[in-house]
Structure 1
Amino acid sequence: MTVVQVDTEVPTPNPPPPQRSRRGVPRLALNLISVVLGIGVWWGLSKAGFDFPTPPAVVKRGWELFADGTLEADIGASLARVLTGFVLGVVLAIPIGFLMGWYSIARGLLEPWVQFFRTIPPLAIIPLAIVLMGIGETPKIFVIFLASFLACVIATFQGVVGVEKTLINAARVLGAKDHTIFARVVVPASSPFILVGMRVGLGSSWATLVAAELIAAQQGLGFRMQNAELYYDLPTIFVGVIAIGVLGLLMDRVLLLAERRLTSWQERR
């Protein structure tokens, strides 16, 4: 008797050819293209009759201010005010945001006041700050502090109350105590909100700087711009605007880098 063997193996289809990865334009190149286009539009508007100084005129004025030490002194004064107010605001906002989000009693006591002051523009506090604190550095820093504090405390609070109940309940089932849940679950889960609040607070601090330096300042980018306004010195105003924008952008990039390092577990597009 002859046994016939039947091949039962199912032929595997040929693997699909590897797809070529689509490599887009690098982000840095796009940023550079955007900057060049923006400068080109600015230059075109100034040549078309709009009352703008040309980019070479602004560069020349910026070099003059840098050469005589004025620009460095103004940048140093403004940076000191922004950093002091911003750091104080963040340091106070994060624990208060955690208290409001974690404890219902603290939320009931503090949230009405936070929401009340959040609806008042920090610039409206300037007259009151001058009357109560004088015309020194304290009212300038206080106004900047208030702007960063309100942005960061709301973001921290939303981050804590937005933590999924499933994560907290799972930690409780595993026997974790409240302090462990807070440190291991709530803080990491709310850290993206905190860092976004810090970035928003930093932008609010720089936005408030010019008005804060209305308070009898003798140095600072905002003071220099307001002084140039009296003499219709547009190149100096543009130098101040560009300096504030560049400094704010650099500080925001630092916070963005910290956000990516501290929230590397989070999925991103």
Structure 2
Amino acid sequence: MLNKLFGRSAAVPGQVYGAPGAGASVFISISTAISLLVIWSIVTYFGWVKPLFLPSPAAVYNKFIVGMTDGIANATLIEHTVASLTRVFSAFFLALLTAVPVGIMMGVNRVARGLFDPVIEFYRPLPPLAYLPLVIIWFGIGEFPKIFLIYLAIFAPMAIAARAGVKSVSMEQIHAAYSMGGSNRQIVWYVILKSALPEIFTGMRIGIGVGWSTLVAAEMVASDRGLGFMVLNAAQYLASDTVIMGIIIIGFFAFVFDALIRYIEKAMVPWKGKV
């Protein structure tokens, strides 16, 4: 049984040996999630950890019902969720429209690389909280600075991933396209961009993860609703059930969107890992 779960998968037609890590892991993932939930329930049921530090699953679920009906921190849970989703997805799609072209230009043009690379590499390692005060000074405390802060956090990994994708294109493909009379624009669009798609999708997945992690910092800027604001507000009153509920909701949406990106990548880049 253990060998079936954790051992090497059987070879698929056309292969002599099964590839390392091949095979579905959905059953293992579901089993892990259920095991963690059971352990959490046991620990809280017997009082091994005080509710202040770790509330029971039932307490978190009850807080979820309260948030959906009566609301938390002067807004319902749906209002908090919609506010956060709007900020994260607005920043993500804005970064997608700008970071990918910039990354491709950095990969194919030395002037663009010289212009953008120092700026991106300088601010990329900085935590968003480091330049949050500057964003407030520049743009105030409205809705735009929240989206802009998340946008900056997403932009760097997406641009770097797009550039890495351009650099991964084999010169043989480019030379073959030139030999068949392809123009520079056609080579960028039909050869370089398509070959860079796997790295671009990887950058998208990293970027949306960074965006969700920056959400809490962004909603520190004079917010009155949002999941990050709700978690921070609950932490001030030691409401750990609300904090854990907010963490679970943020993780759920981050997981769903990551799964959606992987699904789109599988549809658009069917050759990934096969060539």
Name the TM-score, length of structure 1 as normaliser: 0.87
Within a 5 Å distance, the mapping from 1:92-241 to structure 2 comes to 92-241=98-247
Partner Cα distance (2:142, 2:162) in 1: 31
Instruction: Give a deviation string over 1:206-242, Cα, whole Å, max 9, x none.
Output: 0000111010100011111111111111100011000
Instruction: Give a deviation string over 1:104-161, Cα, whole Å, max 9, x none.
Output: 1111122111111112222211100111111111111111000111110000011112
Partner Cα distance (2:116, 2:54) in 1: 47
Contact 2:227 2:250 in 1 (8 A): yes
Contact 2:128 2:217 in 1 (8 A): no
Partner Cα distance (2:236, 2:274) in 1: 48
Distance 1:37-1:268 versus aligned 2 partners, 3 A rule:
farther
Partner Cα distance (1:159, 1:44) in 2: 47
Alignment match, 2:66: 64
Partner Cα distance (1:211, 1:238) in 2: 17
Q: What amino acid is the match of 2:61?
A: V
Partner Cα distance (1:25, 1:143) in 2: 39
Partner Cα distance (1:97, 1:205) in 2: 18
Unaligned runs of 5+ in 2: 1-17
Contact 1:155 1:197 in 2 (8 A): yes
Asked if residue 48 in structure 1 is aligned to residue 48 in structure 2, the reply is yes
Q: What amino acid is the match of 1:85?
A: A
State the 1:174 CA deviation: 2.1
Structure 1 residue matching 2:220: 3-state secondary structure: coil
Partner Cα distance (1:137, 1:220) in 2: 12
Structure 1 residue matching 2:79: 3-state secondary structure: helix
How many corresponding residue pairs?
A: 248
Contact 1:123 1:143 in 2 (8 A): no
Q: What amino acid is the match of 1:242?
A: I
Contact 2:100 2:159 in 1 (8 A): yes
Partner Cα distance (1:160, 1:25) in 2: 30
Name the TM-score, length of structure 2 as normaliser: 0.85
Instruction: Give a deviation string over 1:65-89, Cα, whole Å, max 9, x none.
Output: 1122511110001001101111111
Q: What amino acid is the match of 1:257?
A: Y
Instruction: Give a deviation string over 1:41-70, Cα, whole Å, max 9, x none.
Output: 322343422520011110111111112251
Q: What amino acid is the match of 1:169?
A: H
Percentage identity across paired residues of the two chains: 36
Partner Cα distance (1:186, 1:41) in 2: 49
Alignment match, 1:80: 86
Task: State which structure, 1 or 2, has the greater radius of gyration over its C-alpha atoms.
Answer: 1
Q: What amino acid is the match of 1:28?
A: V
Alignment match, 2:36: 38
Alignment match, 1:12: none
Which of residues 257, 263, 267 in structure 2 aligns to 1:261? 267
State the 1:29 CA deviation: 2.6
Q: What amino acid is the match of 1:48?
A: W
Partner Cα distance (1:147, 1:36) in 2: 33
State the 1:33 CA deviation: 1.1
Contact 1:52 1:234 in 2 (8 A): yes
Alignment match, 1:250: 256
Unaligned runs of 5+ in 1: 1-20
Q: What is the RMSD of the two structures over their aligned residues, measured on CA atoms?
A: 2.0
